Copies of this chain bind each other. A is one copy, B any other.
């Protein structure tokens, strides 16, 4: 009898080179069905042979696998509505840490990668170009039998085995090659019972370094996904914040989690800024090995699909919790929507993990809420560095005031 998988401690008769013929073509199929597929002559190889084989596969053999009998596109998606080119590239090292990123162009790759926004009902084709060298990918694996490649695995939306982004489905991209992944934002359907895919999701590599892409994730191969439903509130600004282990928000450590400059700050992954009254959306994602909590000072949100309680002229639902702190584990993703400065006004509002040793180690940044004209009132703004610096050393450095702005006159 052939097994779907070889188990390490398989009894000798099955794992050995003389294990003989596979099941006949007449065998009763699983769950009472019948196996139509001819399996005559199936046999297993010795471990030593398999290892050699895998090395060959690692050089590119698996990539062509994605042309098998599993469907290429999810049901409901006969033709993609939109096509995107996505590049996986190596970024400058962070010390000795290899950094990879996804980008809509090789030049704009970053971590997190570009936000993917979809509407329910939309079908998206993403062609991933793997520009990460085999040498770099080899440096990130410990098992020489593990194949070299980069993939795109996505949460929440629909995709077939061809777009799973895993090793066992062969749906990854060897160095220098490309592969098209198809995502379908399946809509709700009262008739079929399909519950829809609107939500806050994320995408990531599932192959670099091992079968779960652990090294791809910790190197930077991840990004946010938002699927909206007609009628959903539209944010003025969206920020993706990712909590990983031994690292700060968005993988930036300590003080560098907040790189806003005082004058003309440019919103970006490490500069969260909004005007009072703007609707700000956070796509919050957990990666790695640790638990985290997302906490924002002065603002709260509804623990719902959209992060708000939409009323649409109807009374609010009364049972939904309003929260300002939410636990997330690796793989979790959720959305938060707040009206910047509502009731609380402009200011430097801390956004941090409430695990104390995480925030103390620098997992803390700021949402800088400007006034309606885009200015920061001259309150304590020159001071705020001290609270996010995280370490004694930077705390000292961060407190150097700018003269003239605030109410302190230190000289």
Contacts and interface: CB of A to CB of B under 8 A. Distances in A.
A7 to B, nearest CB: 5
Interface stretch (A96-104, A105-113, A131-139, A400-408): A400-408
Contacts of A140: none
A396 B146 CA distance: 8
Contacts of A142: 392
Interface string A244-260: 00000000001110111
Nearest to A328: B327
Contacts of A358: 289
Main secondary structure of the interface of A (DSSP, over half): loop
Interface in A277-293: 287-289, 291-293
Contacts of A391: 143
A143 B380 CA distance: 22
Nearest to A260: B4
A345 B263 contact: no
A373 B32 CA distance: 8
A293 B324 contact: no
Given A74-B343, A316-B190, A392-B143, A43 B403 contact: yes
B293 A256 contact: no
A116 interface: no
8 contacts: A5-B385, A69-B379, A160-B298, A167-B386, A193-B308, A288-B356, A325-B333, A330-B354
